[in-house]
Amino acid sequence: MLPLALLPMVTALLLGLGGCMAETGRPLPELDRAVEQAGSGRAPALGETVLALISGRGGRQQVVLVDLRSRLPIPLPGLNRPDAQPLSVASDARGERLALVRHRQGRTEVVVYRRNLASLEPVPLQPDGVPRRVALDAEGRTLAVEVSRNGLWQLDLITLP
């Protein structure tokens, strides 16, 4: 667990490395259209070859994974349940593993989805807490979870099998 005081520095380090690129940003209209077709998007997580986001269409939130090369959505069988509301999503570099914070049956939980197995695995938090956001390293082996415990935000780093 990292102290709360280190959270801004760790977040800036993890998210800010993309700002070191020499080129200026340019829109990707084809990708923008693919994301728009999925509905309104939020909480994007950019991998090397995929974009994961939470999309809302018809009042229902779901996780969408878009292949950056083909600009097409990648099927995620078994991930999006009608009784679960996704709150945060993260992807490894290739979209093989997705980490998700979701609200289901009155609880907020963290799960890892393995695309090759179409399986969901719960990630227990020790000690218990209420997760808010997740980040996943490029290999899908280390998970960072922002967790509220007794009114304080903490960051858990979890090694995944």
Q: Check residue 100 and give its pLDDT.
A: 97
pLDDT value of position 108: 98
pLDDT, tens digit, 9 for 90 and up, residues 32-54? 555 555 455 666 889 999 999 99
DSSP three-state, residue 34: helix
- The rounded distance, in Å, linking the Cα atoms of 57 and 59 is 5
Question: For residue 18, what pLDDT is reported?
Answer: 47
Domain 29-159 has CATH 2.120.10.30: yes
Q: H-helix or E-strand containing 134? A: strand 130-136
pLDDT score, position 13: 44
Taking only the tens of pLDDT, the chain with its 161 residues reads: 555 555 555 454 444 544 554 566 666 565 555 555 545 566 688 999 999 999 987 778 999 999 999 999 999 999 999 999 999 999 999 999 999 999 999 999 999 999 999 999 999 999 999 999 999 999 999 999 999 999 999 999 999 99
Three-class SS of residue 123?
A: coil
3-state secondary structure at position 58? coil
CB-CB contact of 44 with 13 (8 Å): no
Retrieve residue 66's tokens: 């878009």
Buried b (16+ CB within 10 A) or exposed e, 129-144: bebebbbbbeebeebb
Segments in the chain forming alpha helices (H) = 7-16, 29-37
The closest alpha carbon to 145, from 100, 115, 98, belongs to 100
Structure tokens at 120: 């969901």
Predicted pLDDT at 77: 98
pTM across the whole model: 0.76
Task: Please give the structure tokens belonging to residue 142.
Answer: 């280390």
Strand, coil or helix: what is 13?
helix
